[in-house]
Amino acid sequence: MNAVLTIMAKEIRQAVRNRWVLAATLLLAALALSLTFLGSAPSGSNVGARPLDVIIVSLSSLTIFLVPLIALLISHDAIVGDMERGTMLLLLSYPVARWQVLIGKFCGHLAVLAFATSLGYGAAVAALLATGSDMDREGLAAFIAMIGSSVLLGAVFIAIGYWVSAQVRDRGTAAGVCIGLWLLLVLVYDMALLGLLVLDKGQNMSGPVLNTLLLLNPTDIYRLLNLTGFANVSALSGMAGLAGSATLSVPVLVAALALWTFIPLTAASLSFSRREL
């Protein structure tokens, strides 16, 4: 445990030194504040949309694109990069197991992403409080759930980045593969699924089949978890119909994200344990 904590602290210090923490926090805060002020327009009394619900919908849609990309950028060279620089050989010369190195790095990168996400998105709530906007318990609960699930989504893509980093032989290849996976899971998969649903016209795509297809993509799990988990947010996002078709409970969705983290991280650990330095 001491070795894991030491490596975790090393990764956090390195992220601070490389300005990853500052850059990610400022980027997320700037986008959150922009969406806060721009998104206040449709939230008047005539529309019936509360400002915090508008922000949750906007930030959830943004998170699907941005957080996975940030997670892959900070994790794609976690293993292969240290091998190219020679620091991995030096690190493993100490009495530390390879799985401890992997878990320590993972916890460090996840802590960086969690800090940046919480502080960056928290700026949106601070801005609403400063402007005197009303916030109820349900809205705050939905916002906290959105931050927590955003961190879980980041954990999934950090684990995927580690798996790629343990497989390839150079950082350039790792970056290319990770960008390809980001495009596949964030853009291509949903476009293909939407096309399939349009072609099917509700004839053969039953609830269990749709549930399975959604669970095969972590970004769709995240979307369901945030945009259908609370009534007001679901109505505002326009996904109330999907919530009725995809009958997946919140515990199932959270467990699916946890499984999406565990499988790539385990695969990365197995590949790293067999890899020659």
**The residue to which tokens 């799985």 are assigned:** 99
Q: What is the pLDDT of residue 94?
A: 86
Q: What is the pLDDT of residue 216?
A: 93
Q: What is the pLDDT of residue 243?
A: 52
Q: What is the pLDDT of residue 86?
A: 86
Residues 6+ apart with CB under 8 A from 1: none
Map out the domains of the chain as residue ranges. Answer: 2-274
Task: State which residues of the chain have pLDDT below 50.
Answer: 41-47, 238, 240
Q: What is the pLDDT of residue 5?
A: 92
pTM over 0.75: yes
Burial class of residue 46, CB neighbours in 10 A (0-12, 13-18, 19+): exposed
Summarize pLDDT for 135-148 with one digit per residue, the tens: 777 778 888 989 99
Q: What is the pLDDT of residue 200?
A: 75
